[in-house]
Amino acid sequence: MDAKTHLPDAQTITQVTHWTDRLFSFRVTRPQSLRFRSGEFVMIGLMGDNGKPLLRAYSIASPAWDDELEFYSIKVPDGPLTSRLQHIKVGDEIILRPKPVGTLVHDALLPGKRMWFLATGTGLAPFASLMREPESYEKYDQLIMMHTCREMAELEYGRQLVESLKDDPLIGELVDNKLLYYPTTTREKFHHMGRITDNLTSGKVFTDLGLPVMNCNEDRAMVCGSLAFNLEVKNILEQFGLTEGANSNPQQFVVEKAFVGDGI
Ligand code: FAD
Ligand code: A2P
């Protein structure tokens, strides 16, 4: 009998792209019943050797209106899930629990003028969804996508996505005027360099983009990276006068971990 038919909540892989030896993205069929807000995450995985599902949290990188679901993933060499998940091919099945949750949603923020998406590494994923979400452009005059990785190759998924938005029939025209993309590297020479934290505190990003320094009246932010990154950015945003919010208490910025680090 075909083992595939035994997977609970099975979805079929429709596309896989490898970006570097540490990063890949893939698309899967979308359960008909699945409703989510752009920016949320779900549990996905594979069946473990012990016959139990091996699941991990993954931000949905596609927008809520898309027919399929997209994910952007790390490859951890010894990672229980991604050491196997990195080998998936079109036609394979994964498990997807259709219970989306998360704090990186528009509902968790008070209205504002500018929205800052601040991400390192795979923390880009929720913003890959939100940058394709029409509501992002309806709610804000400007969106600023700051994404930082060690090397240029690690920025490529985000770069191509931003590039493709200009031709998107749904939001192409909005994006042209409203989305400011500010990618930086920290360990390879590039036209813009430096950690997001440093570019915010030095004011370089505001000068480069011709924007006023962040303030609580006009600016809103969503943050997604390692725990250390999130904590540093949270402190910086608070120094700019912004207050952290949540679904139950909308404020001026929200934070979500891109992964749970070793020992945390
Ligand atoms: P794990 O045992 O889960 O992790 C092993 C170690 O690898 C971790 O201790 C950590 O040091 C490192 N690590 C794990 N994930 C990452 C990462 N993304 N970037 C850098 N280092 C990492 N991962 C994604 O690739 N894409 C996502 O969209 C994504 N969304 C997430 C959303 C939330 C809310 C959370 C909590 C985690 C998310 N993760 C995401 C991480 C994901 O859940 C897994 O940790 C990851 O897929 C690795 O699984 P694993 O079983 O191979 O290794
Ligand atoms: P750096 O190269 O200076 O460490 P990683 O690949 O380790 O997940 O890091 C992804 C990106 O996030 C890197 O460019 C890294 O910069 C940056 N980074 C890591 N930790 C922090 C932090 N605490 N604050 C700001 N940026 C960080």
DSSP alpha helices (H): ranges in 59-146?
Answer: 82-85, 125-130, 134-139
For residue 120, how far is its CA from the centre of ligand 2 (angstroms)? 7
Ligand 1 interacting residues, C-beta cut-off 6 A: 41, 56-59, 72-74, 76, 79-83, 121-122, 125, 256-262
In the sheet with 93-101, reading across from the earlier edge strand, the strands are: 53-59, 41-47, 93-101, 10-18, 23-29, 68-74
Mean pLDDT for 224-229 is: 97
The neighbour count for residue 87, using CB atoms within 10 Å, is 11
Domains defined along the chain, listed by start: 3-101 (2.40.30.10), 106-255 (3.40.50.80)
Percent of the chain with pLDDT over 90: 89
Which ligand ends up closest to the CA of 58?
1
pLDDT for 173? 87
Residue 261 above 90 pLDDT? Answer: no
Gap between the Cα atoms of 258 and 173, Å rounded: 30
Q: Across 155-247, where does the E strand assignment appear? A: 179-185, 219-225
Nearest atom within ligand 2 for CA of residue 231: 23
Which ligand ends up closest to the CA of 57?
1
Q: Which residues contact 170 (CB under 8 A, 6 or more apart)?
A: 65, 132, 134
For residue 101, how far is its CA from the centre of ligand 2 (angstroms)? 26
pLDDT for 1? 39
Which ligand ends up closest to the CA of 118?
2
For residue 150, how far is its CA from the centre of ligand 2 (angstroms)? 7
For residue 261, how far is its CA from the centre of ligand 1 (angstroms)? 8
pLDDT for 174? 86
Mean pLDDT for 209-220 is: 98
